[in-house]
Amino acid sequence: GAWKRPEEELQEYWDVKFNLEDSPDILLTHAPPYDILDQSITGIKTGSKPLLSGIRRMKPKFCVFGHIHESYGVAVDPRSECVCINASSCTLLGKARHAPIIFDLRRKKPHIWKGTGSHGE
C-alpha cells in the first residue's frame, strides 16, 4: 500500500496527484498525518509528513485514518482546521476497545458514539 512508500514518493504523490480543485470534504487514509494522533506505543510519532502537507494544502473538512491503534481519538489541525479522526477501534491484539466515531458534514465537531458494550470517551 501507499503507506509503505518512501516519504519522497508520497510527497510527490500529494504534490502532483492532487490540486486544490480536487480537495475532498473527507480524506480517508490508512496512516495518520505527522504529529496528529500518530504516537505509537513506544512514543514514536509515526505519521506521514507528506500527508500533513497535503492536508494543509487541500484543507479537507475531515481526515479519517487508523493504523496507529493506540492513538484513537479526534484532533483538529490548527493550520488547516481539518478535523482528524483516528478511528482505530481495536487494540494491537485485535480486541475491540473503542466506540465508533460518528461525524456529520453539517457539523464541524464530531461526537463519539457510546453504543452498547463500547468503551468510548
* CATH number of the domain to which 46 belongs: 3.60.21.10
Model pTM? 0.80
Q: Are 37 and 71 in contact (CB under 8 A)?
A: yes
94: left (phi over 0), alpha (psi -120 to 50) or beta: left
Residue 85 maps to a domain: yes
What pLDDT is recorded for position 7?
78
Residue 53 maps to a domain: yes
Helix/strand/coil for 73? strand
Residue 119 maps to a domain: no
| Share of residues in the chain with pLDDT > 70 (%) | 79
What pLDDT is recorded for position 117?
44
What pLDDT is recorded for position 116?
45
Average pLDDT of the chain to the nearest whole number = 81
Residue 14 maps to a domain: yes
* Overall domain count for the chain: 1
Residue 102 maps to a domain: yes
Please report which helix (H) or strand (E) contains residue 21, including its range: none
Q: In the sheet where 83-86 sits, what is the strand order?
A: 26-28, 62-65, 83-86, 73-76
Residue 47 maps to a domain: yes
Residue 118 maps to a domain: no
Q: What would the pLDDT profile of 56-92 be if each residue is shown by its tens digit?
A: 988 998 999 998 988 999 999 999 999 999 998 888 7
Per the structure, the complete domain to which residue 75 belongs is given by 2-112
Residue 69 maps to a domain: yes
pLDDT of residue 119 exceeding 80: no
